[in-house]
Amino acid sequence: MKFELPPLPWAVDALEPIISAKTIEFHYGKHHQTYVNNLNNLLPGSAFEDASLEDIILEADGGIFNNGAQVWNHTFYWNCLSPNGGGEPTGSLLDAIVRDFGSFEEFKKQFTTAAATLFGSGWAWLCTDDNGKLSIVQESNAGNPMRRDLEPLLTCDVWEHAYYLDKQNRRPDYIADFWKLVDWEAVSERY
Ligand code: MN
């Protein structure tokens, strides 16, 4: 199966001034594209030649896992963000957040800490299990919580390439801005 870089859900400059067009051009146009290219180069002759990205995430290791998961994770990340994002969720997702974290503010605090304290490169995730119980998960490198039998609802990419052009080393500033872009409507639809 040959994978393609999926289109962004918005224009490259749509998240400005919070995330610059330059960051998106590199993050999507270079990094995300490179994961797609690397995956396509690794698949021929492998056991995953006809596998879906989800199967690759669940079963592969090494370069096929790393590149396949990074393809999926980035597509998911773009679809967590919106120029009309920010604010708070509503409905059953908000109810579950209050039930499992105490309040939306407390959830935000815990997720922010998870994203800020993740050592090195990786992803912070909000996930649900089969029973609808929410949890915050840190994953290093290309990690994806589907490997733990959890369903991703929201992610924040904390690889330096996600913020270095705009914020240099200031990951906390990037995370603070991330909240202004979270597409809670999309996140809620996943729950
Ligand atoms: Mn990234």
CATH number of the domain within which 157 lies: 3.55.40.20
Same domain, 128 and 71: no
**Residue 129 alpha carbon to ligand 1 centre in Å:** 25
What is the average per-residue pLDDT within 80-108? 98
State the residue for tokens 């974290």.
101
Q: Do 97 and 186 fall into the same domain?
A: yes
Q: Which of 78, 104, 125 is the last residue of a domain?
A: 78
Q: How far is the centre of ligand 1, averaged over its atoms, from the C-alpha of 147 (Å)?
A: 19
For residue 176, is pLDDT > 70? yes
86-122 as b/e: b if 16+ CB within 10 A: eeebeeebbebbeebbeeeeebbebbbebbeebeebb
Note whether residue 10 is domain-resident: no
- Which among 54, 78, 102 is the end of a domain? 78
Percent of the chain surpassing pLDDT 70? 99
pLDDT, average across residues 29-52: 97
> Domain tally for the chain?
2
Are both 101 and 179 inside the same structural domain?
yes
Residues 96 and 177 in one domain: yes
Distance, CA of 45 to CA of 48 (rounded, Å) = 8
Q: How confident is the model over 18-28, as a mean pLDDT?
A: 98
The answer on 71 and 113 residing in a single domain is: no
Structural domain boundaries, residue 68 = 21-78
- Judged against a pLDDT cut of 90, whether residue 147 lies above it is answered with yes
- The pLDDT of 172-177, averaged and rounded, is 98
Taking the centre of ligand 1 as the mean of its atom positions, its distance from the CA of residue 101, in whole angstroms, is 27
Range 17-33 average pLDDT: 98
- Distance from the alpha carbon of residue 90 to the mean position of ligand 1, in angstroms: 28
Centroid of ligand 1 to alpha carbon of 141 (angstroms): 10
pLDDT at 180: 98
* For residues 104-120, average pLDDT: 98
Assess whether 60 and 114 both reside in one domain.
no
Does one domain contain both 118 and 38?
no
Write the CATH number for 34: 1.10.287.990
Average pLDDT, the chain: 97
> Is the pLDDT assigned to residue 1 strictly greater than 70?
no
How much is the pTM?
0.98
